[in-house]
Amino acid sequence: MLRSVLLASASVSLLGLAAGPALAQTAASDEVGEIVVMGKRVIRESAGATGLDLSLRETPQSVTVVGAAQIKQFNLTDVNQLLATLPGVNVEAVETDRTYYTSRGFDIVNFQVDGVGQPLDWGLQAGALDVAQYERVEAVRGANGLMTGTGNPSATINYIRKRPTDEFQASASAGYGTWDETRLTADVSGPINESGTVRGRVVYANTDSDSYLNYYGVNRNLYYGILTWDVTPKLNATAGFSRQDNLATGVNWGALPLVYSDGTPIDYDPSETTGAPWTYWDTHHDIGFGELSYAFDNGWTIKGVYTHRESEEDAKLLYAYGNPDPTTGLGVTAMSGEYPSDLEQNMFDVIANGDFGLFGRRHQVVLGFNTSTNDSKKWEAFADLFTYPAYQGAHIVAPAEPTYPGADLKEEIEDRLTRAYGAVHLNLTDS
């Protein structure tokens, strides 16, 4: 607890005034009662920029940390809400389920979980990811090639997972909000065996909501489990798995036509959309990981981490272009397609850190090696062009679902990255 005592005093001198009441006022006590300010900011360190646990002041880049307390206080439930709170980070939701993140004028493509890189292809986030499994998030602004392998002048976002606790704890919550939004969460953590050498944690979260937009709704589920085992006092093993499903219906793709064919602005209701009841954008993300760490007697530690990630997307989208006739309401053309895709990533990291003596002082050092593979495929199937039904005033009538040919493979990417890195923090003075 941070305890601050604020004292205040004030004095007033009025020359030339000798009235009794004025003199009586100066006899009052100059002191006020003690004011106690209570608060504590726990997170003052980050390893996101160098791999070393440095204070934010010592870190040679601009770093922002949003901890569990802030996530709870501001009721941040997905990454779009969370990243919007970070200074210098812009969240650009161009449609219902397509979001870009930018910083310093560039797309953010470098994302990490517990310091392990999980890059975001093209900087595009489809749907929204739940944050119930994360303890905090760190944002390192500026190029961070040391920890990512490929520097990017925007920023690096590092999500830190929740870990099992030494003592049993459990929490649950339920909420109801605008547009019939419901939110359910459960978080249980603690020792599994009597000695406490085996500990576990499970987290579940569900969000289900309609929208002010016609047809749109989303159901999001998160399942997360992690086990840690103190094999010996110095050897620790950890394994975990998470699954995220984001199922969105009635999604839109592209903007509304702004004017009629004669140039007159269209006065839309806020609920209008180019989507339809049959459009959707579903995403599924599975991540499994295993860790093995060892602490040496000299204070050095070494940790190896293997991560496997599989992601699948399936979308059926509808795009409108053209301008309706102000009299007939006709003139808007529709383009629709199916867009399935999948992604598979395998990542292995090993990192060693400790300290060493030089010139009578202790200094910190970190050494790391990383190798990763990233294989992705995307397919497309386009229906023939067709037309929207006639506008009813400023109301868009959703067209019927078309038929689609078989999907063709449009993109296949194989990405390989191998890197080694190191950093030293020299304590040259006492300050």
Angle at 27 between CA 24 and CA 31, to 5 degrees: 140
The whole-number pLDDT of residue 378 equals 95
pLDDT at 10 over 70: no
- In angstroms, how far is CA 27 from the centroid of its own chain? 59
Least confident among 23-32, 367-376, 377-386, 405-414: 23-32
Q: What does DSSP assign to residue 255?
A: P
Q: What is the mean pLDDT of residues 360-370?
A: 88
Q: What is the mean pLDDT of residues 355-374?
A: 88
pLDDT in tens, 33-65: 777 766 655 556 666 556 666 666 766 777 888
The whole-number pLDDT of residue 137 equals 92
The whole-number pLDDT of residue 159 equals 93
The whole-number pLDDT of residue 7 equals 29
Strands (E) located in 104-180: 106-107, 110-113, 116-117, 124-126, 134-141, 155-161, 169-177
Domains located in the chain, CATH noted: 2-39 (no CATH), 45-425 (2.40.170.20)
Q: What is the mean pLDDT of residues 245-262?
A: 95
115: number of Cβ within 10 Å: 20
The whole-number pLDDT of residue 4 equals 33
The whole-number pLDDT of residue 18 equals 38
Least confident among 55-69, 240-254, 326-340, 367-381: 55-69
pLDDT at 123 over 80: no
User: Is-contact 294 314, C-beta < 8 A?
Assistant: no
Least confident among 1-10, 74-83, 140-149: 1-10
pLDDT at 406 over 80: yes
- Rounded Cα distance, 129 and 123, in Å: 14
**Burial (CB count <10 Å: 0-12, 13-18, 19+), residue 195:** exposed
**350, amino acid identity:** V
pLDDT at 84 over 60: yes
Q: What is the mean pLDDT of residues 159-170?
A: 96
Q: What is the 3-state secondary structure (H, E, C) of 164-203?
A: CCCCCEEEEEEEEEHHHEEEEEEEEEEECCCCCCEEEEEE
- Per the model's pLDDT, the better-predicted residue between 62 and 86 turns out to be 86
Which positions ≥6 away from 172 have C-beta within 8 Å? 184, 185, 186, 187
pLDDT in tens, 189-208: 999 999 999 999 999 999 99
The whole-number pLDDT of residue 117 equals 80
Least confident among 59-63, 134-138, 230-234: 59-63
pLDDT at 26 over 60: no
The whole-number pLDDT of residue 41 equals 58
Q: What is the mean pLDDT of residues 159-188?
A: 96
With residue 408 as reference, give the H or E element that holds it: strand 408-425
Antiparallel, parallel or unpaired: β 124-126 and 2-6 = unpaired
With residue 68 as reference, give the H or E element that holds it: helix 68-73
* pTM for the whole structure: 0.84
pLDDT at 396 over 50: yes
pLDDT at 25 over 70: no
Q: Give the pLDDT band (50/70/90) at residue 144.
A: confident
- In angstroms, how far is CA 72 from the centroid of its own chain? 14
The contacts found for 3-8 with CB under 8 angstroms, 24 or more apart, are: 3/36, 3/37, 3/38, 4/36, 4/37, 5/34, 5/35, 5/36, 6/35, 6/37, 7/31, 7/32, 7/34, 8/32
Q: On the CB side of 373, how many CA atoms lie within 13 Å of its CA?
A: 7
Q: What is the mean pLDDT of residues 236-253?
A: 97
Q: What is the mean pLDDT of residues 207-213?
A: 96
